């Protein structure tokens, strides 16, 4: 990010970008204000901009282009009508753009998206592979035979170590005639 | 009603002493002493001692 914050570097980088990415950045210039979740813009207080009439304020907040936090990768709620508008870019197109940006090293300039590398990594860390037991502080329970396998093998190993001695005793006691310890 | 006469022979289970859970079922006369023999256990792939399992109280 440190490199990309320099305007000269940005211009240099921009010259190498493919038209599709350039067009995206033209429509949505990189800012730090992008919302990271679904957006619910609030109406700006009228005292802040006295030159605007309340009607204009409402109009301004209800248009995505004048909302500085508008994120084309997230759904947006119109403050006047209360209706939700879907993300401007669907998940497939988001993935296309993110992948392209990653190839050109400008992924961090994009608005927040579920397709961004670090967002995905964070999610992966939190939830694991969505397979029960692979997340943080989780362990795979396993089948019962898997859980008891170690103990059983150990028991078997010990029994096999004692086996020659046991067979010797069995032979000495008349092949079972004097045997007392029958298994249950 | 008279109970059925007990059969002269019984089916018994001889289990591997290698603790593999492997067993074989054999038939022996009811009155003879319990079975014990050396037999092959395919789990440990060796000949090991097999002893007859104690039968339950109600048999």
SS3 content of chain A, % helix, strand, coil (to 5): 45, 5, 50
Residue of A nearest to B48 (CA): A163
> How far is the alpha carbon of A140 from chain B, nearest alpha carbon, in Å?
26
Give me the mean pLDDT over the A111-131 stretch.
Answer: 83
Within a domain: B3? no
Q: How many Å apart are CA A134 and CA A126, to the nearest integer? A: 10
pLDDT over threshold 60, residue A105:
yes
Within a domain: B59? no
pLDDT digits (tens, 9 = 90+) for A74-89: 888 887 888 888 889 9
Position B14 confidence tier, pLDDT thresholds 50, 70, 90: very high
pLDDT digits (tens, 9 = 90+) for A122-141: 888 877 777 777 767 778 88
Which residues of chain A have a CB within 8 Å of the CB of B37? Answer: 175-176
SS3 call for A176? coil
Within a domain: B57? no
CA–CA–CA angle A179, B41, B15 (5° rounding)? 40
- Total of domains in chain B: 1
Inspect the interface and report whether the beta carbons of A179 and B20 lie closer than 8 Å.
no
Return the pLDDT at A29: 83
B47: how many CB neighbours lie within 10 A of its CB? 14
Inspect the interface and report whether the beta carbons of B49 and A183 lie closer than 8 Å.
no
pLDDT over threshold 80, residue B37:
yes
Inspect the interface and report whether the beta carbons of A160 and B48 lie closer than 8 Å.
yes
Spell out which chain B residues touch chain A, with contact meaning CB-CB distance below 8 angstroms: 15, 17-20, 33-38, 43-44, 46, 48-49, 51-54
SS3 call for A86? coil
Contact A66, A43 (CB under 8 A): no
Which residues of chain B have a CB within 8 Å of the CB of A158? Answer: 19
Give residue B19's domain range: 9-52
CA–CA–CA angle B22, B32, A159 (5° rounding)? 30
Q: Which of B19, B38, B52 is closest, CB to CB, to A167?
A: B38
A113: how many CB neighbours lie within 10 A of its CB? 23
Within a domain: B19? yes
Say which CATH number the domain at B39 has: 2.20.28.120
pLDDT digits (tens, 9 = 90+) for A3-41: 566 777 778 878 888 999 999 988 888 876 666 666 665
Which residues of chain A have a CB within 8 Å of the CB of B18? Answer: 156, 159-160, 163
The DSSP annotation for A89-155 comes to S-HHHHHHHHHHHHHTT-GGGSPP-TTSHHHHHHHHHHHTTSSTT-STT------HHHHHHHHHHHH
Within a domain: B58? no
**ipTM score of complex:** 0.83
What's this model's pTM, rounded to 2 decimal places? 0.47
Percent of chain A with pLDDT over 70: 77
Within a domain: B1? no
Within a domain: B20? yes
Position B17 confidence tier, pLDDT thresholds 50, 70, 90: very high
Burial status of residue A155 (CB atoms within 10 A of its CB: 0-12, 13-18, 19 or more) = middle
Within a domain: B2? no
Q: What is the mean pLDDT of chain A?
A: 81
Inspect the interface and report whether the beta carbons of B53 and A179 lie closer than 8 Å.
no
């Amino acid at each position: 990010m440190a490199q990309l914050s320099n305007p000269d570097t940005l211009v240099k980088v921009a010259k190498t970008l493919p038209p599709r990415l350039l067009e995206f950045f033209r429509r949505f210039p990189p800012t730090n204000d992008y919302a990271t979740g679904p957006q619910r813009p609030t109406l700006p207080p009228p005292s802040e901009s006295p030159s605007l009439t309340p009607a204009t304020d409402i109009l301004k907040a209800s248009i995505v282009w004048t909302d500085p936090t508008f994120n084309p990768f997230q759904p947006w709620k119109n403050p006047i009508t209360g209706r939700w508008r879907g993300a401007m870019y669907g998940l497939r197109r988001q993935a296309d753009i993110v992948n392209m940006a990653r190839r050109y090293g400008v992924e961090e300039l994009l608005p927040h998206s579920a397709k961004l590398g670090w967002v995905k990594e964070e999610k992966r860390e939190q939830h694991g592979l969505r397979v029960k037991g692979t997340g943080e502080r989780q362990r795979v329970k396993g089948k019962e035979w898997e859980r008891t396998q170690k103990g059983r093998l150990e028991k078997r190993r010990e029994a096999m170590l004692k086996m020659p001695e046991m067979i010797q005793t069995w032979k000495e006691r008349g092949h079972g005639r004097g045997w007392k310890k029958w298994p249950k | 009603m008279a109970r059925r006469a007990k059969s002269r022979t019984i089916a018994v289970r001889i289990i591997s002493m290698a603790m593999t859970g492997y067993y074989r079922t054999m038939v022996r006369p009811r009155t003879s002493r319990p079975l014990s023999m050396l037999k092959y256990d395919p789990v440990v792939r060796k000949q090991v001692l097999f002893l007859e399992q104690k039968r339950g109280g109600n048999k």
